[in-house]
Structure 1
Amino acid sequence: MGEIASTLWQLSNRELVAHISASEDKLRRDYAEHLALLAEADARGTAYELGYSNTTALLVHTQNISRREANQRLAHAAALHDAKTPTGAVAEASMPLTAKKLAAGEVCVEQVEVIRKFIGTLDHLEPDKVALAEELMIERAAEDDPNALARYGERWVRDIVDPDGKPPNFDEPQRPERELRRHVYRDGRMQFSGRLDAETSALFDQLLAPFEKNGPDDTRGYAERAGDAFADVLQKAANCPDLPTHNGLKTEVAFTISMDELAKAVDERVLPGTQLTAGEMRRIACDCHVLPAVMGGESKPLDVAVPAYVVPAHIRRGLVLRDHGCAFPGCERPASVCHSHHIRSWLQGGPTALGNLVLLCGHHHRLIHRSEWEVKLVDGVPWFTPPDYVDPERKPRRNHLHRLAAG
């Protein structure tokens, strides 16, 4: 390494990124070897033989790591390696495919943790479904960072392997679980905490989202933006006390499934792309203004082109129905905070039409303009081609997180 470090200044940017990637692969392979050693030590009872109460205590003392870190490593070791039970039987690893990918340097530690936690929620399923879930998560791990991978699991994989979820707990209270605790200080400031049921949580997120957007010069952190957004929503509510009306009109809801299908759906069925049941959605829909959307073949909004740079409302609506949010791979930002990006620049003759537009959040809009990422539409689906320093094969990618919303 010292030899490489002395010549780093000679490397081009792409060569430097290549060395970083190679170093990351080595770290991952070394971690796989580390887990194999931990699994063996735990199976032998090495900690007990050396006078420690458990393997966690041994690691904390010998490796100078936190108990949390030690427990996570041992959890990874247990999930990726076979283990002998006290009776002598062999318990097979719950994540054998992940073990192979880690040993090959193809997944990172955080991705291993995401997959482990997700697989842990599927303990009520048959082994073949659990194996399918791991296979789907590993396939996405090649393109997604840990946060995007976690969202992909919850929004897409779970719908495939566990559409019904765990059996309901009939002892749960019928009344929605909502709590709000608040304390007002002498100077008038308030501190509060609480929790909301799924329906109210979805409403809360949608109300905040339009006010949480940040510009290039915005120095606020996530919590500060959320606080300001909440204050804006309260001001809106004060100005319009008859919520959920808006300027005297009921809330607009655009359904991308047929009204007949919604009407026939079983009350307890959770609708794709939401955390709401059909019964809850019907209750919301009975008090809103439903917007019919004319769709073309394969559920694509009809294209209407106009010679204008600013995207008109009717085209914007069609763009939202098609992309549902930021189309960049792995991004979950909703359509309400996204820009309408001209794939072929308007200044170069690119039309303001659905066939030349894609929804991008501010961060990815800037990335597309400043980097070597490329985007094009294939059968109405935005596909993004990464630079060679991200993927040497430059394999096109798409956003899977909004797929369920498309129906």
Structure 2
Amino acid sequence: MTSPGALDQATAVAERASVLAGAEWDAVDGPDVVAGVEAIVAARSFLDAALLRGIDRLEATDALRELGWASVKDFLTHLTGGHKGTGGGLVRAVEQLRDLPEVQAALESGRVTLPQARVIASKVHTLPRVPQFRTAVAGRMLDLVEARGHDASDLQTVFGDVVRELDPDAALVNEEKERAKAERAAHHARHLSFAEDGHGGVRVKGYGSVEDVERIKATLHPLAAPATTEPGSCGGVNRQPGQPMFDDDGVSTAAACLTPGCGHDGRDPREAGARLWDALVDACDRLAASDELPRDHGTKPRVVVLIDQESLEQQVIDAGLARNGHTPNGARFSAAAVRRMACDAEIIPTVLGAHGQVLDVGRAQRLVTTGIWTALVVRDRHCAFPGCARMPLACDAHHIRHWADGGATSLDNLVMLCRHHHVLVHQTPWAVHIDEDTGQPVWTPPPRNTRDGYSKAGITYAPARPRAA
């Protein structure tokens, strides 16, 4: 089916459904009402099957990202108007049914409804990863739907009986449980330690699960590949027989190579263990240079020196910046003045009074202060983007009106966003403002354009707030 054909059919179905919804049902006889409801339920099942196929295709394209949506699940949750997580459930159903073509076919043929198919798929995916066993359990549950008319609740109830019927000795289930138990034990025993040997070196010792190590290896092995070069590129080419000791300018024709045992043939002289070590260091350097490490509300950690005001004043005097704790005209220094005189670009003194109270922490700045960040965490609790609940550690403080455009670093101009949604807001039509009455962020999603140019721009809503603990 072509793209225009699919869209034409979907549009036609929606139009017919609209007519049906507005029909004069009060004039329909009882038997016809029964048949009509049955037909509507059957049609709904077919539409659910078509929806899953559409979602599957939607995930394979970038159409939503181009419209400003962070993910397919966010779009579906907004589109269906369901509870948070509705879109994620539909996407998960697509992924699970992809491995169960028999259940997918039953849904598309109308033999099962979407709730029944989702129960079968979700339950089967809790079983050991043995394809034949999973297929057999799914087939048996489909038989129960056709033979006994089991609904979604019935299927949840009988799932255990079906598993025991097909695996009476629990050999497959127990094998998977024992393997999972061993993996959990290995994960709980994980450790990594560094011990200096007193001779300029450090011994590294660690232990972890197979899964953990495979993830580490998947990162290190590409970085540990042998680095080959052109022969002689290290500068240590051996002098050939008959080659003069020096060139015409008196420079030696043989350069010493600092790599022991290097044959100057272009091959990587490092053995496998050395390459893995270098790969680990390289991976850490790359991570440190990225934006992935946790940061303190959007800025790299800085050194904050806690010092009482009198000591700081004395250091300023000792440095020749002032005399006797006073300005040249006799005025006594304020905490702010002393801090400004002593402040370094990376070391920021936080001046404390005699009882430890903060007297000054610097001028108004683009980066949020600790107090503002704390208030932001109390208000937003997590990433404030609709449907996202990433914790504050993974979030930044986003200026609603950009700092470069004159926006203030204040609570009413800030919203907490995880790195993914922070980037998204800067690159897409999503908009947010703080409601003057509630003090909560309110979001405006991108326009939803359809074939006839209809747009739902202007719809606003605030993300659901979790209950206070």
Do these two structures clear the TM 0.5 threshold for a shared fold by scoring above it?
no
TM-score scaled by length of structure 2: 0.31
TM-score scaled by length of structure 1: 0.35
Higher normalized contact order (CA 8 Å, seq sep 6+, divided by chain length): 1
Bigger Rg, structure 1 or 2: 2
